[in-house]
Structure 1
Amino acid sequence: MTIIIIIIIIIIIIIIIIISSSSSSSSSSSSSSSSSFIIIIIIIIIIIIIIIIIIITIINIIIIIIIIIIIIIVFVVVFVVIRIPSLPC
């Protein structure tokens, strides 16, 4: 899951770089405000992608912890159910 997200991010960054380089080369006489605007957009997109990755990682960690807790509870219950009848009254 994380590998897919990283690949998507790399593709998006490459596309953005290609678009920004082609736009800057095609219109070299354009004002610097448009190029700075493109840079700001790129930075915002990168920040959003990093936040999404962090959120997905946290969710994955929480899911793994919940699964481990459920497995431990199931083992404890099974152990107790198996051990209690064998104990002498």
Structure 2
Amino acid sequence: MLSTNCITIPKGVFITDNENGDKVIFNYNNGQYYGLDKMGAYFWNLLCEHKNIDMIIDIVINRFEVDKHMVTNDLLTLINNLEKEGLVQLS
């Protein structure tokens, strides 16, 4: 399982919420906008708050009573995509 003590948002990345509970992310470094739906926004908030992948998976499973394998895959896919686009840094 991927665990980290530090998930950071690089300089030049700005986040805002819209009226639907989604998040809009702007990466000033490449000029791109990104959108996260409500579940993606929920994951994002947990990433910013807890910074530990295993803890986030446990929180989501307990709150939504969903399959651990599905949550793990969804969260790791999101993190990998965010990292690839320069929206988070893992260390």
- Structure 1 and Structure 2 fold alike (TM over 0.5): no
TM-score normalised to the size of structure 2? Answer: 0.28
TM-score normalised to the size of structure 1? Answer: 0.28
Which one has the largest radius of gyration?
A: 1
Instruction: Say which structure is richer in strand.
Output: 2
